[in-house]
């Protein structure tokens, strides 16, 4: 069955919702905080803001609307590939009122263009067909909201907006797409008394996004993989389990953990709170996740195993989950709409993460979604679960 085309008003609402979230996140901050580099691994927030607007201008105004850019060559400052994160504060970035009017002016023009274009399933241009480029823009802003939340962990006394701290629980086995909440902080689940592992039979499994509906290029083509029988933990590794691993092996502790007495405290946003023992461990690197799994007599699941088991996994959407897999192209991959989204990252340098974290907009959570990062990275909301071969 073909999905109903989305009315333009619904797209405009979702663009507005993403923008409200962006502003909500930076609302408590002053200009100095917006422009400061807190870590060489993360952009100043002002860069994310200008980049969000510039990406929107590039695709929704210049490309789709065939308009000239508002500020000439400005786009070069906000090109993620050209400008490494650590030096983004050295660029003559837009600030204050100028930055805010750029965001607003681009949005105004983007909505003007939206009014003019054909986004029906019959549209000739694949960028416009089924509103693809609008889904791309909504997802892009939501993904940058998560990057901003990574940085906000480093901001002393930062208070998360209400919508992020007052959200309900979800029940075990509920698919992430069904969750009502957008963000959750801190993750509030108690570990349920679920069977600790799920066994999946060997056989053929369908992997990747279906041919219709919005997905990134790296999720296609949908294809069949052959999996040997395996077991996968129903629950991600918890802080308690991880602390035991640290105690026995001297492994590196997660980012934002500090020793206090004989326990651990969590220091994100300048707070000092005991580490919540039953919640999934977060801010660990792939190397640590892999070492933990081997220490536990297990291994990380492949991304295929994770996707095959997805409907049965618990606590999906608390933390991004490292997998054993390198970020590689699926058979039949075609870069769309630009090579720098996925293709330039393919290879054995980046590892795939699956699922989503409390900071991930629920719109982005689907079984085929592939996130990726370097194996040493810990500033992302990364945890993991373990798997093993089953005879």
Q: Of the two residues 154 and 200, which places its CB atom closer to ligand AVJ in the complex?
A: 154
Q: What is the contact mask toward ligand AVJ in residues 316 to 345, using x (rule: CB under 6 A)? A: -------------------------x----
Reference 139, options 14, 35, 26, 264; nearest CA is 14
Determine the interface stretch with ligand AVJ among 57-65, 111-119, 143-151, 266-274 (rule: CB under 6 A): 143-151
Give the span between the Cα atoms of 295 and 203, in whole angstroms: 28
310 lies in the binding site for ligand AVJ (CB under 6 A): no
Q: Phi, psi (5° rounding) for residue 125? A: -75, 120
Footprint of ligand AVJ on 72-91 (CB under 6 A) = 80
CB 301 within 8 A of CB 232: yes
- Contacting residue, 372, 379, 386, 387, with ligand AVJ by CB under 6 A: 372
Q: Of the two residues 256 and 327, which places its CB atom closer to ligand AVJ in the complex?
A: 327
Q: Phi, psi (5° rounding) for residue 17? A: -65, -45
Segments of the chain assigned E as strands: 197-200, 203-207, 223-227, 230-233, 257-260, 263-266, 273-274, 320-327, 347-355, 371-373, 382-383, 387-389
Q: What is the contact mask toward ligand AVJ in residues 91 to 130, using x (rule: CB under 6 A)? A: ----------------------------------------
Give the span between the Cα atoms of 259 and 250, in whole angstroms: 13
- Contacting residue, 62, 282, 371, 382, with ligand AVJ by CB under 6 A: 371
- Contacting residue, 100, 140, 181, 366, with ligand AVJ by CB under 6 A: 140
Footprint of ligand AVJ on 249-288 (CB under 6 A) = none
- Count of residues in contact with ligand AVJ, rule CB under 6 A: 8
47 lies in the binding site for ligand AVJ (CB under 6 A): no
**Count of other CB atoms within 10 angstroms of residue 63:** 16
**Count of other CB atoms within 10 angstroms of residue 90:** 9
143 lies in the binding site for ligand AVJ (CB under 6 A): yes
Residue 259, SS3 per DSSP? strand
Binding site for ligand AVJ (CB under 6 A): 80, 140, 143-144, 147, 341, 371-372
């Amino acid at each position: 069955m073909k999905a109903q085309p989305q009315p333009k008003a619904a797209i405009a609402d979702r663009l507005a919702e993403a923008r409200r979230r962006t502003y909500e996140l930076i609302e408590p901050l002053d200009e100095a905080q917006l422009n400061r580099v807190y870590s060489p691994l993360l952009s100043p927030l002002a860069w994310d803001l200008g980049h969000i607007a510039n990406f929107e201008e590039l695709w929704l105004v210049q490309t789709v609307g065939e308009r000239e850019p508002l500020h000439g060559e400005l786009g070069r400052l906000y090109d993620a590939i050209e400008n490494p994160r650590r030096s983004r504060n050295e660029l003559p970035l837009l600030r204050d009122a100028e930055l805010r009017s750029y965001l607003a002016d681009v949005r105004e023009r983007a909505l003007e263009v939206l009014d003019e274009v054909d986004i029906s399933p019959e549209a000739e241009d694949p960028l416009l067909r089924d509103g693809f480029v609008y889904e791309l823009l909504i997802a892009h802003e939501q993904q940058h909201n998560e990057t901003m939340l990574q940085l906000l962990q480093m901001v002393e006394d930062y208070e998360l907006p209400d919508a992020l701290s007052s959200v309900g629980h979800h029940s075990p086995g509920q698919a992430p797409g069904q969750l009502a909440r957008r963000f959750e902080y801190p993750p509030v689940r108690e570990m349920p008394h679920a069977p600790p592992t799920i066994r999946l039979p060997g056989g053929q499994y369908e992997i990747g996004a279906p041919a219709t509906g919005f997905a990134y290029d790296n999720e296609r083509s949908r294809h069949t993989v052959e999996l040997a029988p395996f077991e996968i933990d129903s629950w991600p590794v918890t802080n308690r389990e991880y602390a035991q691993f640290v105690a026995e092996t001297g492994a590196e502790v997660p980012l934002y953990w500090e020793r206090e007495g004989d326990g651990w405290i969590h220091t994100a946003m300048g707070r000092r709170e005991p580490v919540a023992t039953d919640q999934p461990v977060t801010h660990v690197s792939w190397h640590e996740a892999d070492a933990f799994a081997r220490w536990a007599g297990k291994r990380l699941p492949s991304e295929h195993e994770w996707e095959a088991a997805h409907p049965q996994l618990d606590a999906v959407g608390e933390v991004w989950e490292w997998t054993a897999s390198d970020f590689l192209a699926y058979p039949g991959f075609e870069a769309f709409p630009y090579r720098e989204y996925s293709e330039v990252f393919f290879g054995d340098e980046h590892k795939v993460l699956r699922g989503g974290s409390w900071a991930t907009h629920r719109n982005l959570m689907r079984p085929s979604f592939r996130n990726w990062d370097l194996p040493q990275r810990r500033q992302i909301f990364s945890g993991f679960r373990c798997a093993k071969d089953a005879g």
